Amino acid sequence: MNSKITSVDQILQKLVSFDVLGGQSNLSIAEWIVSHLENNGVTVHTFTNEVGDKMGIHARIGPEVDGGIILSGHTDVVPVEGQTWNSSPFELTERGNGKLYGRGSCDMKGFLACCLYLVPDMITANLQKPIYLAFSYDEEIGCQGAPPLIEHMKRTYKEKPGYAIIGEPTMMQPVIGQKGICVIRTRVNGSAGHSSRIREEVSAVHEAARLIVWIEEKVNELALLGPIDDRFHPPHTSMHVGRVNGGIAPNVIADHVQFDWDIRVIPGNSVEKLLEEFSAFCSERTKELQDRFPDFQITTTMEHPPVPPLDTSADSKFLLKVQQWSGFDDFSTVAYAAEAGQFSEAGYESIICGPGSIAQAHRANEFIEIQQLYKAIGMLRNMIADLEGSRWI
């Protein structure tokens, strides 16, 4: 490997070796990160979830003054089960093509490695504004770790950070907008019976199908009538049913069906309003069918609180700075959800910008180009240099 980035490679190699999936305990990788920071003389703050098997990490480097920058990332990755890898997914592998392969190398341990690699530079710099490292858990299962991380930071520091860079893979192009997401589970309780009695019983499968068709038709309505935001693809709020379970045999009327779906909202659109419309349709079906089967019921629950969208202004002075640091004159938006919306909602002007391509995330043979690590390190060094000035923004 290139000797100039050997240290960052070694950090990334260690981070990739932790096979911590979303929903699993992240203590192994979190404790290693804490040790790395403390060995560099950084005071680290941590907290755990109620069970004690997941840890959020944050640290401040620099003075206790308002207006600092948060560098945010997550420690979990998605599964590799069912994917065909050409090398061990949890061993960072270089194949002589300028790319480093491994689960999480792109999404988003490459950014974490760059941040950790530059900790000595941050410490020795004469920072006039602080830099915060903020590393979460369970991002990959609905951005569940960011809200408690943000709340713990607010309780820990008297000063208020002003900005946040979330290092999801963007090929180092600043991103000022993301869609929000809400993951939902709907259960339909019907009446079991012989399939010849379909006119007397209530099939949970048939009713679930009606609900799913309602969701599809609502998406078509959103595409036709809006609201529309051409910065995104697709340029409207979308809904998608990804999993359906129910029924036991072709000749048995199903008494239970469960389906999981999501809503991805553009900025300005409301998850709550769409759920209200869905609930109203469910109430109509319930009222009609309870005469036939009194225990008929439709229950809809959110799997986690909605992740808000990101909508940072194109006129933002912070965007201009990130463009200067990264070397990009333009910016973009993304359709996926990230923790940036949560940091923005908490009051920190947020931009997504990190090494690697989202096209490599969540797939077999995930990789990050070594050149992307160079670019991320360069951006962060430019940021550090600016934060040594008394009026950086």
Could you tell me if 357 and 169 are in contact, meaning their C-beta atoms sit under 8 angstroms apart? yes
Pairing of strands 297-302, 193-194: unpaired
Residue type at position 326: S
Could you tell me if 143 and 222 are in contact, meaning their C-beta atoms sit under 8 angstroms apart? no
Could you tell me if 182 and 263 are in contact, meaning their C-beta atoms sit under 8 angstroms apart? yes
Specify whether 139 is catalytic: yes
Specify whether 19 is catalytic: no
Question: Of these residues, 9, 76, 138, 349, which one is catalytic?
Answer: 76
Question: Of these residues, 107, 138, 139, 349, which one is catalytic?
Answer: 139
Could you tell me if 284 and 210 are in contact, meaning their C-beta atoms sit under 8 angstroms apart? no
Residue 142, phi-psi category: left (phi > 0), alpha (psi -120 to 50), beta (remainder): left
Closest CA to 348 of 164, 175, 212: 164
SS3 258: strand
SS3 184: strand
Total residues found in the chain within this entry: 393
Q: Write phi, then psi, for 205 (nearest 5 degrees).
A: -65, -50
Residue with tokens 């950090």: 11
Q: How many CA atoms lie within 13 A of 305 on its CB side?
A: 11
SS (H, E, C) 133-148: EEEECCHHHCCCCHHH
Could you tell me if 138 and 337 are in contact, meaning their C-beta atoms sit under 8 angstroms apart? no
The whole-angstrom separation of Cα 62 and Cα 157 is 12
Instruction: Quote the DSSP letter at residue 375.
Output: H
The whole-angstrom separation of Cα 175 and Cα 18 is 28
The whole-angstrom separation of Cα 182 and Cα 269 is 12
Helix (H) or strand (E) run with residue 257 in it: strand 256-265
Residues with catalytic function: 76, 139
